[in-house]
Structure 1
Amino acid sequence: MAFDIVFSEPDRLSPDLIAADNPGISRELRSQLLQLPSNDAVLAQSFSRTRVVLGETSVRSGLQATGIEREIEQVPHAIIGPDPKPYLLKFPELVQNLPILNEVASGRGVFTVLPDADGVYRRVPVVMMVEGALRLSLSLELLRIATGGDAFAVRSNDAGIDGVVVAGQVIRTQGDGTVWTRFSASDPNRFVSAADLLEGRVPQNRLAGHLVLVGTSAIGLEDFRATPLGVPMAGVEIHAQLLENVLSGTLLQRENTADGKELLLTAAMTILVIALAPMLHAGVLIVSTLALVSAYGIYSYLMFLWQGQLVDPTFPIVATILTVMLMSSTNYLREERRKNRIRNAFGQYVTPALVAQLTESMDALKLGGERRDLSVLFSDVRGFTTLSEGFRDDPQGLTKLMNELLTVMSQPILDSGGTIDKFMGDAVMAFWNAPLDDQDHPRSACRAALEMVRSVEEFNATRMANQTDDAPVHPIHIGVAVNTGPCFVGNMGSNSRFDYTALGDTVNVASRLEGQTKYYGMSIIIGETTARQVDGEFALLELDLVRVKGKTEPERIFGLMGDARLAGSDAFRALTGISTRMLGAYRAGQWETAGNLIAEMERQGTVLGLDLRDYCTLFSTRVRRLSDTSLDPDWDGVYDALEK
């Protein structure tokens, strides 16, 4: 039998101790008590009549901490392979039994069991180092004594402890000398009540031929341990089940090289995931990974069920899933960076606020195209050929100048919520009301056009002020046209390359109107639809009825002269009155009246600070030419623009 109890102190109920601790008793009684043997001696005599294994335990501080040294009796053993001591669990102090009991005991085993990190007892050390001495666990020491008491052997290799040889059989262990107990539910048939035994209520042959472990099972003694079964178990039963596993060959097996093999397997699984991640879609990768880890989990379970082999399912599975998460996160961050690059690139064409709205509401961006009303703006640099000739020997300088100029021209568009469609050399195309709705798009486009002209004037002034040599600085002038109407807008192009752009008659007319700005001497020309929607909010001057190239219907065009402040001035209202009468006389063929009104227009424009000389010269030339010829019966006052 083996005791899961340490008899480390004398029994306080021994007769001699009672006599010594009770001075009030009679001399005769004290003499009688002192003649009786101590309880410990009686217990030792009982031990001497059979083979008894005493239990020992360990604490974390004690004699070695105080510098007191003592000799621990060695258990006969042998070592097969490298020195196992570096791998074994080490306990600093051994709590032994009374010497009188130790002398008659057949063996000594350690019943200390350590929990895993989660507080659950899954493993039992079967061989360990205690104060520099090798010791077997209580169960294996009982088995050793029961089978003759021969020496045990510790077998080791480069991976640590490989097994313990006891009673002629090899008990495979982990590298630190622990084994995994295959726990089963607590069975009352394993237990015999000590009270029943003392009272003679146990059949005489109940313990015959058995290995007996004596221990406590009272909850109050706090010798209950959490087990993988989910229910606590008395410490003595843990040793009993370990002994049952050894005798029946049902111990769970886990080689001391299992950790290394599982690391290699984990590396293989994670490398496979890393290799497949760039080639598979996210959904396929997730399904494949789940299939892989599920297969490994099933393999681990079947090895446990059929062969009692412990193959760790957690580390390889968790590592693989974490690798997939890492790869997914990496792909997500890469995709985010790509989207940011696209967002930043798109931000060069539209206002950042618009990009933010698109980011939050992707439904607002309809890919593939749609029909909607837009306000389209075209802008071009006048006299670009002449300007570029001045940079014949300095192409980098021309490039720098144009980049600065296009930046100046683009900013008002972006600030007003417009979308820059494209740059065409020195020209800019933009539109409003796409991709997001802008109910005020004609006004936004007109505000941007006025700001573009003003920004270019400031740009010219800055160039003049920063001139560092004697080379002449040619001022840059631009022409801007705005037209409003239905368009088709969306992503257009090939399958491999496309642009977000607008098409339609409105776009074509806007382009033609921009070409007329130089002819009419105007910085900004807008179409009739645009003028009708912004009338009263901007200073508009009707210019002409024009049939642009490629069109059969004439377009009434207007000059955008300024903002609402100018439009509300009495002087400008007078100018628009003169212009209206002039165009009426012109279209009616009243050349003399038209000529007088043209001169009056120019004077009124000078009063307002508006340069109408080119426009007035144009109409004066027309009036003189028409007055010298007979009036065509089909005359309708429409000018046919033969050039773009």
Structure 2
Amino acid sequence: MLIAALALRISDPTPVELLRLKTFDLYQLMVKPPDQPAQAVIVDVDEASLNRIGQWPWPRTLMAQLVNEIRAKGAAAIAIDILFPEYDRLSPGAMADMLAGDDAAMAARLKALPSNDEKFAEAIAASQVVLGQAVHQSKNTQWHAEAREQTGFAMVGPSPDAFLDTYPGLVRNVPELEHAAAGLGLVSVRPDIDGIIRKVPLMLKADDRVLPSLGLDLLRVATGESTILLRSDEGGVTSVVLSGVILPTDESGHAWLHFRPHNPDIFISAADVIDGKLPDGILQDRLVIIGSSATGLFDLKATPVDAVMPGAEIHAQLVSAMINGNLLQRPNWAPAAEVILTLLLGLSMILLIPRLGAAWTLAVGASAALAVIASAFWLFAEKGVIFDFVFPLLATLIVTGVMVVMGYLNEEIERRQIRAAFGQYLSPELVDQLAANPEKLVLGGETRTMTVLFSDVRGFTALSETYKDNPQGLTTLINRLLTPLSAAVIRQRGTIDKYMGDNIMAFWNAPLPDEDHAGNACRAALDMLSELEALNIARRTEIGPDGLPVKPLQVGVGINTGQCVVGNMGSEQRFDYTVLGDSVNLASRLEGQTKAYGVRIILGEQTAGLVDGRFATLPLDRIRVIGKKEPEEIHTLVGAADCLASPAFEALRAAHMAVVEDYRSQRWSDLEARLAACKQAAEPFGLEGYYDKIAARLEVFRKSPPPSDWDGVFEATSK
């Protein structure tokens, strides 16, 4: 298992990496950075500036004015976190090209004027400005021939090229601007796999050259240095040295930042600068980064402490961290130390479990884990070192868990078999009880009084025909329907027996006793209707495969209680836990009669008797279903106890019982007089269809009356 754990570390799958990164975030959230002054100010092309001056891009003459104003306020150096890869479309020359065919004289006069880019270049040359560049995934030859020499790195140690993030192309600014700049730096910052920025590259390899970041070159220009020292060893980059200050990095040359929350105090609106509204001294000897927090310019990032932070502020935090000396460290030796710690902890668990047992070993392991976590936080808080304690502890936990599981394997075999057999159609509570008492399952079955439920989708054949060219869509719909209906059964302690296409068969009072099996089945049926209503609401705006709006799904539910045989039935090699008996067949027949009676739930006589006084039920008819000799008094389930106690149901029940009495006594005139009022009272409960069915039967009886000794039993002609 230790070998597998080490292989896990080497492969470093996404879940492990994410867990490690979230641990590093936890460091940042729990340990605040030192209280030190911000070393960079951001001149922000914010929403207010765009509203005041106009949409982006601004004319280069306006950018020149912005740079000149910042220089006039005494800024030590300026970095621009904005790229200018194309000439200004508002330059006089560009306007002249547009007018050349219409007004040659005006075009000539415009051609004679200096370009906006020249004015911007003059402002850049008059200041200490670092322009931004960006890496590109493809070779970019634009401005390649005119490219100026960029800041060089002096290398100490073996070449780190194999460790550096490398890109084939580079997005440059127009040549006039780059030649006027005091420095050029990369603005590119790549987030981790979860989209969060945790570290900033101090250098990247792009266009076959090692190039500095925007913040690093800003610091170089401000200190007057001409080169940057890059130190490396066999494990990659170790640090960058600028003006005698050592800046720690990881092996790829990235600087880990101890992020601070977004600080609005370091932001100055670009509009205020252009309008000359800044007080004297606010930019004196400061490092200034021109960037944007405007949403429409898409330079907003996520950090461990802020879901949204302007990209310019990340560069500003890097500059402050380099000057204040509080960059975090992820030393090249850290991964090796983490592997060694994994081996020590894993071997300790392997040696201790056979001697101390699982409980004591877990206690010792928990203590060791707390010590490792505390040490890791101490390293972060006191030394600024980022150490991954998650992988060693996770690997040790896996090793320990496997050994403990192996110790209990023999005891778990039978329980796992039970869970595998019953987990999909029993509630977790019942599965747990069965796993603890496997002797309650008897191959061959036993006789019990049980309640059985059948549900079926009405009109499923017609519905299936609309999906004849899309069987996968039909499967998706059935799964979408059966999932919540099954959940309703399981919530009420029911057992899912089987699925037959769109049909669900479930039962209660087995495999474990259920004193209120009839009541729980009724609750499940009502829950199923609620789940179906929610599904129909969700599908209300959907379009079916025939191009028409989908119709609401309807189900019929039949519930019956009686003696059944239940158990594992089949062979020793394969069996199903199921229920058989005449009561089961009757439940299926009752479900089939729901459409004939215009109701959604039909209860058998014994079920209705068991829930009488606790649920709102109404007698429907005395019926002899196909295949049965004895008639059955059937009822419909209207609602739960709250419905039973409602005045509306009490009124309906009184009117309904009069209808039933008139029907069975063959008082057809009285029956006809009551039906309309009864139907109106039934509308809130969705039962008006039942009275339509009785009215239709009344017409038949008037033409062909039943015999005088009729016992009120209706002979069903369909299943």
Decide which of 74, 82, 86 is 1:9's aligned counterpart: 86
Corresponding residue SS for 1:278: helix
8 Å CA contact 2:151–2:227 kept in 1: the answer is yes
8 Å CA contact 2:79–2:130 kept in 1: the answer is yes
* Letter of the structure 2 residue corresponding to residue 214 of structure 1: I
Q: Distance in 1 between matches of 2:328 and 2:381?
A: 10
Corresponding residue SS for 2:293: coil
Tell me the residue number matched to 2:183. Answer: 107
1:30 to 2:98 alignment: no
TM-score, normalised via structure 2 length: 0.46
- Relative to 1, partners in 2 of residues 1:337 and 1:280: Cα closer, same or farther, differing over 3 Å? farther
**1:117: how far off?**
1.4
Tell me the residue number matched to 1:124. Answer: 200
Decide which of 345, 348, 359 is 1:283's aligned counterpart: 359
* Letter of the structure 2 residue corresponding to residue 45 of structure 1: E
After TM superposition, the structure 1 stretch with the greater mean CA deviation from structure 2, 25-34 or 175-184, is 25-34
* Letter of the structure 1 residue corresponding to residue 82 of structure 2: I
Tell me the residue number matched to 1:554. Answer: none
1:82 to 2:161 alignment: no
**1:55: how far off?**
0.5
1:21 to 2:98 alignment: yes
**1:48: how far off?**
0.9
- Relative to 1, partners in 2 of residues 1:71 and 1:271: Cα closer, same or farther, differing over 3 Å? farther
Tell me the residue number matched to 1:390. Answer: none
**1:148: how far off?**
1.0
Decide which of 219, 222, 229 is 2:298's aligned counterpart: 222
Higher relative contact order (CA 8 A, sep 6+): 2
8 Å CA contact 1:293–1:320 kept in 2: the answer is no
Decide which of 131, 143, 147 is 1:54's aligned counterpart: 131
8 Å CA contact 1:173–1:256 kept in 2: the answer is no
Tell me the residue number matched to 1:534. Answer: none
- Relative to 1, partners in 2 of residues 1:31 and 1:71: Cα closer, same or farther, differing over 3 Å? closer
Q: Distance in 1 between matches of 2:146 and 2:164?
A: 21
User: Where do residues 566-581 of structure 1 align in structure 2 (5 Å cutoff)?
Assistant: none
**1:11: how far off?**
0.6
- Relative to 1, partners in 2 of residues 1:260 and 1:16: Cα closer, same or farther, differing over 3 Å? same
8 Å CA contact 1:84–1:154 kept in 2: the answer is no
8 Å CA contact 1:150–1:167 kept in 2: the answer is no
Decide which of 205, 209, 217 is 1:141's aligned counterpart: 217
Q: Distance in 1 between matches of 2:410 and 2:82?
A: 63
8 Å CA contact 1:58–1:112 kept in 2: the answer is yes
**1:285: how far off?**
2.1
* Letter of the structure 2 residue corresponding to residue 246 of structure 1: M
Tell me the residue number matched to 2:373. Answer: 297
* Letter of the structure 2 residue corresponding to residue 278 of structure 1: P
1:306 to 2:382 alignment: yes
Query: How many matched pairs?
Result: 346
Corresponding residue SS for 1:120: coil
8 Å CA contact 2:199–2:257 kept in 1: the answer is yes
- Relative to 1, partners in 2 of residues 1:207 and 1:15: Cα closer, same or farther, differing over 3 Å? same
**1:212: how far off?**
0.8
8 Å CA contact 1:162–1:173 kept in 2: the answer is yes
Q: Distance in 1 between matches of 2:276 and 2:377?
A: 47
1:250 to 2:334 alignment: no
Corresponding residue SS for 1:203: coil
1:317-346 Cα shifts (integer Å, max 9, x gaps): 222222222222232336658999xxxxxx
* Letter of the structure 1 residue corresponding to residue 89 of structure 2: R
**1:244: how far off?**
0.5
Tell me the residue number matched to 1:409. Answer: none
- Relative to 1, partners in 2 of residues 1:334 and 1:185: Cα closer, same or farther, differing over 3 Å? same
**1:23: how far off?**
4.6
Q: Distance in 2 between matches of 1:241 and 1:24?
A: 51
Q: Distance in 2 between matches of 1:301 and 1:137?
A: 30
Corresponding residue SS for 2:215: helix
Q: Distance in 1 between matches of 2:148 and 2:285?
A: 32
Q: Distance in 2 between matches of 1:189 and 1:158?
A: 43
1:157 to 2:254 alignment: no
8 Å CA contact 2:151–2:226 kept in 1: the answer is no
Q: Which runs of 5+ in 1 are unaligned?
A: 341-356, 365-644
1:321 to 2:406 alignment: no
1:423-461 Cα shifts (integer Å, max 9, x gaps): xxxxxxxxxxxxxxxxxxxxxxxxxxxxxxxxxxxxxxx
8 Å CA contact 2:148–2:178 kept in 1: the answer is no
Q: Distance in 1 between matches of 2:438 and 2:101?
A: 98
CA radius of gyration, larger in: 1
* Letter of the structure 1 residue corresponding to residue 328 of structure 2: L
* Letter of the structure 1 residue corresponding to residue 374 of structure 2: I
**1:27: how far off?**
4.5
Q: Distance in 1 between matches of 2:367 and 2:79?
A: 50
Q: Distance in 2 between matches of 1:358 and 1:23?
A: 90
- Relative to 1, partners in 2 of residues 1:69 and 1:107: Cα closer, same or farther, differing over 3 Å? closer
8 Å CA contact 1:56–1:95 kept in 2: the answer is yes
**1:307: how far off?**
2.3
Q: Which runs of 5+ in 2 are unaligned?
A: 1-77, 417-432, 441-719
8 Å CA contact 2:238–2:250 kept in 1: the answer is yes
Tell me the residue number matched to 2:275. Answer: 199
**1:69: how far off?**
9.2
- Relative to 1, partners in 2 of residues 1:322 and 1:36: Cα closer, same or farther, differing over 3 Å? same
- Relative to 1, partners in 2 of residues 1:36 and 1:281: Cα closer, same or farther, differing over 3 Å? same
Q: Distance in 2 between matches of 1:326 and 1:38?
A: 73
Q: Distance in 2 between matches of 1:30 and 1:218?
A: 36
Q: Distance in 1 between matches of 2:311 and 2:178?
A: 22
Q: Distance in 2 between matches of 1:161 and 1:238?
A: 22
Q: Distance in 2 between matches of 1:258 and 1:104?
A: 43
Decide which of 166, 180, 183 is 2:242's aligned counterpart: 166
Q: Distance in 1 between matches of 2:435 and 2:377?
A: 47
**1:362: how far off?**
7.7
Q: Distance in 2 between matches of 1:339 and 1:193?
A: 68
8 Å CA contact 1:252–1:308 kept in 2: the answer is yes
Corresponding residue SS for 1:103: helix
8 Å CA contact 1:72–1:133 kept in 2: the answer is no
8 Å CA contact 1:303–1:309 kept in 2: the answer is yes
8 Å CA contact 1:63–1:69 kept in 2: the answer is no
Tell me the residue number matched to 1:39. Answer: 116
Tell me the residue number matched to 1:502. Answer: none
1:135-167 Cα shifts (integer Å, max 9, x gaps): 111101111111113211110111111101112
Tell me the residue number matched to 2:313. Answer: 237
1:98 to 2:181 alignment: no
8 Å CA contact 1:72–1:131 kept in 2: the answer is no
8 Å CA contact 1:74–1:134 kept in 2: the answer is no
- Relative to 1, partners in 2 of residues 1:339 and 1:318: Cα closer, same or farther, differing over 3 Å? closer
**1:87: how far off?**
1.3
**1:51: how far off?**
1.3
Q: Distance in 2 between matches of 1:31 and 1:269?
A: 80
Q: Distance in 1 between matches of 2:412 and 2:310?
A: 57
1:84-119 Cα shifts (integer Å, max 9, x gaps): 111111112110111111111111111111111111
Q: How large is the Cα RMSD of the aligned pairs?
A: 2.7
Q: Distance in 2 between matches of 1:306 and 1:173?
A: 18
- Relative to 1, partners in 2 of residues 1:338 and 1:212: Cα closer, same or farther, differing over 3 Å? same
8 Å CA contact 1:60–1:91 kept in 2: the answer is yes
* Letter of the structure 1 residue corresponding to residue 376 of structure 2: S
- Relative to 1, partners in 2 of residues 1:240 and 1:287: Cα closer, same or farther, differing over 3 Å? same
User: Where do residues 424-443 of structure 1 align in structure 2 (5 Å cutoff)?
Assistant: none
* Letter of the structure 1 residue corresponding to residue 302 of structure 2: A
8 Å CA contact 2:262–2:306 kept in 1: the answer is no
Corresponding residue SS for 2:246: strand
8 Å CA contact 1:143–1:167 kept in 2: the answer is no
Q: Distance in 1 between matches of 2:273 and 2:328?
A: 34
1:219-267 Cα shifts (integer Å, max 9, x gaps): 1111111110142111111010011011111111221211111111122
